[in-house]
């Protein structure tokens, strides 16, 4: 698993790749939570995430709660159908906006302001 963060204008982009499971979720959490400090617009680019365990879902929920507390928005971009199905079945999907690509995610947040 690899995770990076960057900024596009006012939007924080967190990009992850590989598998996010019980072994890698702590690194994902540490990087994601550090990146969203003081931020209210966040795109989680999951295009290259192959697997997301319940530990990874917990991190997404933590990000959502912290951004939502600032009246912000979180977009999940490029999420695979398998991960979307799990998120839908567990009720997690209702918390997030989703887009097919990172570019669509950025545009969604730019127009949401």
pLDDT at 38: 93
Boundaries of every domain in the chain? 2-112
Q: Is the dihedral of CA 108, 31, 33, 16 positive or negative?
A: positive
Mean pLDDT of 107-113: 88
| Residue 107 burial (CB count, 10 A) | 13
Two tokens at 47? 């295009």
pTM beyond 0.85: the answer is: yes
Secondary structure class of 38 (helix, strand, coil): coil
pLDDT digits (tens, 9 = 90+) for 32-61: 999 999 999 999 999 999 999 999 999 999
pLDDT digits (tens, 9 = 90+) for 66-105: 999 999 999 999 999 999 999 999 999 999 999 999 999 9
- Residue 113 pLDDT exceeds 80: no
Mean pLDDT of 22-32: 96
By the 8 A CB rule, do 63 and 32 touch?
Answer: yes
2-112 topology per CATH: Transcription Regulator spoIIAA (3.30.750)
pLDDT at 93: 94
Q: How far apart are CA 37 and CA 15, in angstroms?
A: 16
């Amino acid at each position: 698993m690899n995770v990076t963060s960057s900024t596009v204008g006012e939007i924080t982009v967190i990009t992850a790749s590989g598998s996010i499971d019980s072994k890698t979720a702590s690194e994902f959490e540490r990087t994601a939570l550090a990146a969203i400090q003081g931020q209210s617009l966040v795109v989680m680019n999951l295009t290259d995430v192959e697997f997301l365990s319940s530990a990874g879902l917990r991190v997404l929920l933590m990000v959502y709660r912290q951004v939502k507390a600032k009246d912000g928005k979180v977009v999940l971009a490029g999420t695979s159908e398998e991960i979307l199905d799990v998120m839908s079945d567990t009720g997690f999907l209702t918390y997030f906006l989703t887009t097919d690509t990172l570019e669509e995610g950025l545009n969604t947040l730019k127009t949401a302001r």
